[in-house]
Amino acid sequence: MSTSAVNVGHKVVSNAEWLEARKGLLAKEKEFTRMRDALSRQRMELPWERVEKNYVFDGPKGKETLADLFGDKSQLLIYHFMFAPGWEQGCQSCSLIADGIDGNLVHLAARDVAMAVVSRATLPEIETFKKRMGWRFKWVSSNANDFNWDYHVSFSKEEAEKGTMYYNYAISPFPSEEGPGLSAFYKDESGEIFHTYSTFARGGEMLLNVYSYLDLAPKGRNEGGLSYPMAWVRHHDRYEGVLVKGAGCCEGE
């Protein structure tokens, strides 16, 4: 294959020209890094809200309260995993995020952070899927409480029919009865719990570690010709199968 066929749309230049272009981009990358640091500081400066309800979840060892999910840590991250009662399996895009959780748990614990995954599916449904995927992280069911509804990651049939789901801080149609997201909590020395942050839709993209790699590859994410951006994603044990049809769970801004 000729060089021109391989490099369609890209200039092939000398090392000196390449360095000049690379340094120009580096300046923008540094600017982005500083902006991201500033945004992180603003995130930590957000006001908190007290969690008034005593949420009780179904876990593999029995009933667990929201306070129990902290363990001996003062900070808790909860990933809202799209998995409704009756679903054969959890969302493939949420599963892509979940594939990266186990390896981070020890590092989060070293920084006083616990992490758990919550879904509205029943505990037996969660345990079956979790075993299939080979995950070890804590995953509990909110099927018997209001947690998913209160944090706006589950939607009623009426909301779906009218297209009036409240998701990502706005009312709009959403292509599923469940939505993805991440919420952060703090527990003080008296045991009071505070909700400090929640992010949804593409706000959770920072958890998709594979995108950090793809963004460095020559073709990037290469999603332009797909029916929706994450149409290529499959459960890690299903890449020889057929892509799941339907709208992606992480579309939107």
- In-domain check, residue 103: yes
pLDDT band at 43 (very low <50, low <70, confident <90, very high): very high
pLDDT digit string (tens) for 168-177?
999 999 999 9
- In-domain check, residue 148: yes
- In-domain check, residue 157: yes
Q: By residue range, what is the domain housing residue 153?
A: 49-203
CATH number at residue 69: 3.40.30.10
- In-domain check, residue 12: no
pLDDT digit string (tens) for 91-135?
999 999 999 999 999 999 999 999 999 999 999 999 999 999 999
Q: According to the model, what pLDDT value does residue 84 have?
A: 98
State pTM to two decimals.
0.91
- In-domain check, residue 16: no
Q: According to the model, what pLDDT value does residue 252 have?
A: 56
Which residues have C-beta within 8 Å of that of residue 50, sequence separation ≥ 6? 192, 193, 194, 195
> What is the C-alpha separation between 117 and 132, in angstroms, rounded?
16
Average pLDDT of the chain to the nearest whole number: 92
Whether residue 160 is predicted with pLDDT greater than 70 in this model: the reply is yes
The whole-number average pLDDT for the span 144-151 is: 98
Two tokens, residue 124: 């037996």
pLDDT digit string (tens) for 178-235?
999 999 999 999 999 999 999 999 999 999 999 999 999 999 999 999 999 999 999 9
pLDDT band at 150 (very low <50, low <70, confident <90, very high): very high
- In-domain check, residue 123: yes
> Domain count of the chain?
1
